Amino acid sequence: MTRGARVGIDLGTTHSLVSVMDGTRPIVLPNGLGETLTPSAVSVTEDGSLLVGAAARARAVTHPESTVLAFKRDMGTDRVFRLGGREFGPEELSALVLAELRRDAEQALGQPIVEAVVTVPAYFGELQRRATRAACDIAGLHVERIINEPTAAALAYGLHQRSREFRAAILDLGGGTFDVTLLELMEGVIEIRSTAGDLRLGGDDFTDLLADLLVKKLDEQHGLRVGDSRVARARVREAAELAKKRLAGAAETRVPFVDLPLAGGRVASAEVSLSRDEAESVWIDPLLRMRAPVERAMRDAELPPAAIDEVLLVGGATRMPCVRRLAAQLFGRLPLTSLPPDHAIAMGAAVQVELKAGSSAVEELVVTDVAPFSLGVETVFESSGRHISGLFTPVLDRGTVLPASRVKTFRTAADGQHTISVQVYQGEHSLCRDNVRLGAYQVEGIPRKAAGEEAVDIRFTYDLNGLLDIDVTVHSTGQETSFTLEPTAGKLTPEQIAIARQRLKAVKLHPREALPNVTALARAEALYVTLSGFERERVALAMNVFRTALERQDPEPIRRARESLNALVRSAS
């Protein structure tokens, strides 16, 4: 492998970022705008070129029909997103974000990225993990290890506390997912005890509920019906996101709406007040949903809340006071945020990539992980001459420390049976149809005997890279059959990945050197539509000065006008 840098990547639902080890500590790298967080957003402009990151996120307010957000939630599915007359799968959209991260990181480091560790939610199943690997391949990233987000956060915390011994609960509430991991740190060894989560619960859900409340207030207090206008809905949702952030530090805030397009073609302006108590009243359901994974993780680890020494909060959504309060109630202690909640996962991924490389900076640190789901096979149950098929029998239970190897013995179900179809599933339900099918393999040459007289051992060997090796041994003959379910052998084949890579190469990306200017204007435009009066005039004037500088194409006036516009947007946001 050529010389270059090794990095950790947090591929998030809302934001993504890159970290690298700087001596003995991980640091987060700036992107092309000098910011640490790159929005996981893709938008198509009027000329058909694609924007990735901050400019795309800003356009979600003004051009929602041509912008895609939160596609991480659809990883591992067949969902198709349409942008600018083209179709993209969630893997391709994620690959665009990853490619942007790679380019920015290489620019910041001045050398190529030769290897990366990428994080995924602990409760991502095998299909989502395969999709993430496919996205990495499409983006041209060399990734051998994908690790769970809470595990990465544990590495970031554990790096600085190697001399301590303690049990910790990590609550990771990002934009789209919620994970809980219980771990134990002893003499530099981080042992994951259990993990649980909810793939459809995150900060975005809190924002959506707040947006619904704002729509209701506009109707009840001002008689303004938002209707189904995508632009109006996007404007209200952006207002809800800003209000959610303000309410993290204030008991009440005011939310203005200027020239909001309404049902029936009306345009109106209004302002509504919003209190933290009102917000938390509509957040009761997601807060209650957070309890179930916590309780499941505690049961699996066989630990009571009193046995937890530290509660660590990870993910931007954990800044909400109600989330911190819930964590304190569940464990009877105040949670810690000694590392920036948005940065901890990427920092831990940087630690992991150095661990994998055997770096001396982390030589005293060891981490184990656990299987987030049970893995098993389809079986048949016979009773009184009746057969019940489609049953799920686990071979390797969730919570098993990885790497692991487990074996179970099964018997033939029919007279004269000479083949066995090993149908592999992942999940916790008793019926296979309710779990996720990972693959199958046909074992031939079973001696023909009466039902139940021939036995086979099925062994699952699962490693830290997500490779599942399956060995089948026939008792009477000793015949052995082995096959592997590889993470890259899932939804996209190597041929499909190559095609996707070529497709993305043909996509017209907005010129990188122009991105600071495009982003500044997109952010200012997104703010402009929310303002009124003097503040709106100030933003308009700054935008026009900037546009004039761009027309003249003189670099120094452009830089000054852009900095002035960005400062105004920051102060008014």
DSSP 164: -
Query: Nearest CA to 150 among 128, 172, 183, 117?
Result: 172
Residue 72 appears among annotated catalytic residues: yes
Contacts 24+ apart (CB under 8 A), 273-281: 274/210, 274/213, 274/214, 274/217, 274/243, 274/247, 275/247, 275/251, 276/247, 276/250, 276/251, 276/252, 276/321, 277/251, 278/213, 279/210, 279/213, 279/243, 279/244, 279/247, 280/322
Cβ burial of 104 (10 Å; 0-12, 13-18, 19+) is buried
Which region holds residue 388: left if phi is over 0, alpha if psi is between -120 and 50, else beta? beta
What is the rounded CA–CA span in Å between residue 154 and residue 166? Answer: 12
Please give the single-letter amino acid code of residue 40: S
Q: Which of 10, 179, 238, 354 is catalytic?
A: 10
Residue 172 annotated as catalytic: yes
Question: Taking a C-beta distance cutoff of 8 angstroms, is the pair 386, 168 a contact?
Answer: no
- Contacting residues for 100 by C-beta, under 8 A, at least 6 apart: 31, 38, 52, 53
Look at the block and give the residue holding tokens 């029909």. 65
Phi/psi of residue 52, nearest 5 degrees: -125, 130
Determine phi and psi for 497, rounding to 5 degrees: -65, -40
Catalytic residue among 104, 149, 184, 310: 149
Residue 149 annotated among the catalytic residues of the structure: yes
Q: In degrees to the nearest 10, what's the CA dihedral of 486, 487, 490, 493?
A: -80
Give the number of other CB atoms < 10 A from CB of residue 432. Answer: 21
| Cβ neighbours of residue 60 closer than 8 Å, sequence gap 6 or more | 41, 43, 67, 69, 234, 238, 526
| Active-site residue identified among 74, 92, 172, 241 | 172
- Choose among 289, 311, 323: nearest CA to 182: 311
Backbone angles phi, psi at 253, to 5 degrees: -150, 160
Q: How far is CA 75 from CA 92, 313, 431, in A?
A: 10, 25, 24
Q: Is the peptide bond before 511 cis (omega within 30 degrees of 0)?
A: no
Beta pairing partners, 18: 9
3-state secondary structure 310-354: EEEEECHHHHCHHHHHHHHHHHCCCCECCCCCCCHHHHHHHHHHH
d(CA 226, CA 266): 10
Q: For residue 345, what are the contacts with CB-CB under 8 A and spacing of at least 6? A: 10, 12, 119, 149, 152, 153, 156, 172, 314, 315
The dihedral of CA 129, 130, 135, 141: what is its sign?
A: positive
The answer to whether 373 and 125 have CB atoms below 8 angstroms apart is: yes
Cα-flanking dihedrals φ and ψ of residue 427, to 5°? 150, -170
Let me know: does 493 contact 28? Beta carbons within 8 Å: no
Catalytic residue ranges? 10, 72, 149, 172
